[in-house]
Amino acid sequence: MLLLKSRYLLKDASTVIDNGAVLIDNGKVKFAGSANDISNRESCQIIDLGNSAIVPGFVNTHTHLDLTHLHNIIKYNGDFTDWIRQLVDAKKEWTESEYLSSIRSGIKSSLESGTTTVVDITRNGLALEELQKSKIRKSLFYELIDFNPDSTESTIDNFKNMIRKVKRDDLLSIGIFPHAPYTVSEELYRRSKAVAEESGFSIATHISETIDEAHFLTRGTGKFISLLRDFDMLKEWKPPGLKPVNYLKNIGFLENGCILVHCNYLKGEEVDHIEESNSTIVFCPRSHKYFRHKDHPSYKLGNRDINVALGTDSLASNDSLSILDEMKYIYTQHKTSKPQDILCMGTIAGATALRLNDKIGKLEEGYDADIAVVDIKKETVTNIYDGIFSHDSECVLTVVSGTICYDKHGVTREASVN
């Protein structure tokens, strides 16, 4: 058994305990509370983490680990379709080993920043092997791209063939990721949804990312038209005449909930549909800034009952794969956001999106021991959130299902876990 002690413990986003302790037994939280309330310490390896906060491990609800090596390679010039063209060009010549090394870098920096669960999007399936070698918890979403309705069944068959080879383990879950409404036909969206429902897979898509995407769907105009023509993807197609989320609602994609990545532009009834379907919005704050979008709609949801989780997106549009950095960014840029809500977005909201909220996202007895420890540099803070979200705080320990995955200062070296 391993006992972690620290000056602060956050059992969840809003329950703060001074001088806290978490006892880990067989990969699970056996106790989380005040260090004074724990007895029978003889058989434990005790690690005192000093002036730090033990928090639930962070959940990165949207990233593309295979693009990690594209950091600072692509320049955004205000035209999203040009950015996509650069992205496609940049990895055209990549070998399999380049993909694998990019994915490995992404996993390493995720763990080093306290991310215990990563929701990764894979196009070619290569991420599976690297992710399964790692002790990080992963939800691997297979990206589907096909705008031609005639080839829907073969695209679905390819997906099923890839999935058939997957060896399941306790840290892995599978999802389907039809890419976006300008690369996925209506038919493929419907079939993806049906497969997700019958297999119990999670389902997600990029939606309402740009204003141009809304023009593409409502009027059939804008830069996506020429992009698709250039990639020879646009044959006989008529715009549905609907705003992005309304389009998804109309084809049944929202039913029973789904994960909607971005949602940078939402109007009226689109928000209603997301709320009514219990879908999750994934907000990628610093990628949102990189693409120069206006204030994200999640800041204006008020009393809406909508789960908002955080993603980093890839390093092709961000500077780190750290959910802690995303939370710090919101904390400093959006002063009206409550710190408890921000921490919620980086932890339990992602778990809820993946339907794992009875297992991870909190530190309570019986939950899996997915833990991040954030070193608070300042000796005195007015409140713990100031400490966690201060610019110089950093993750020093990452534990997934009781396994030490990152230990900056080697404090657990002698510990025997599990």
Q: What is the DSSP code (8-state) at residue 202?
A: E
Touching Zn ion, residues 307-346 (CB under 5 A):
313
Binding mask 265-304 for Zn ion (x = CB under 5 A): ----------------------------------------
In the bound complex, what is the minimum distance in angstroms from residue 59's beta carbon to Zn ion?
Answer: 16
Cα–Cα distance for residue pair 404/355, rounded to 1 Å: 24
In the bound complex, what is the minimum distance in angstroms from residue 295's beta carbon to Zn ion?
Answer: 20
Question: With respect to Zn ion, which residue has the nearer C-beta, 313 or 394?
Answer: 313
In the bound complex, what is the minimum distance in angstroms from residue 212's beta carbon to Zn ion?
Answer: 16
In the bound complex, what is the minimum distance in angstroms from residue 64's beta carbon to Zn ion?
Answer: 6
Question: With respect to Zn ion, which residue has the nearer C-beta, 313 or 326?
Answer: 313
Tokens in use for 226?
């020429």
Binding mask 74-103 for Zn ion (x = CB under 5 A): ------------------------------
Cα–Cα distance for residue pair 296/299, rounded to 1 Å: 6
In the bound complex, what is the minimum distance in angstroms from residue 87's beta carbon to Zn ion?
Answer: 11
Strand 371-375 to strand 52-56: parallel, antiparallel, or no bridges (unpaired)?
Answer: antiparallel
Question: With respect to Zn ion, which residue has the nearer C-beta, 116 or 318?
Answer: 318
Task: Give the interface segment with Zn ion, choosing from 52-60, 223-231, 240-248, 306-314 (CB under 5 A).
Answer: 306-314
Q: What is the DSSP code (8-state) at residue 289?
A: H
Question: With respect to Zn ion, which residue has the nearer C-beta, 6 or 110?
Answer: 110
The count of chain residues that interact with Zn ion, using the rule CB under 5 A, is 1
Count the neighbouring beta carbons within 10 Å of the beta carbon of residue 334: 14
Which residue of the chain is nearest Zn ion when measured via CB?
Answer: 313
Question: With respect to Zn ion, which residue has the nearer C-beta, 66 or 187?
Answer: 66
In the bound complex, what is the minimum distance in angstroms from residue 108's beta carbon to Zn ion?
Answer: 20
Question: With respect to Zn ion, which residue has the nearer C-beta, 66 or 313?
Answer: 313
Interface positions with Zn ion (CB under 5 A): 313
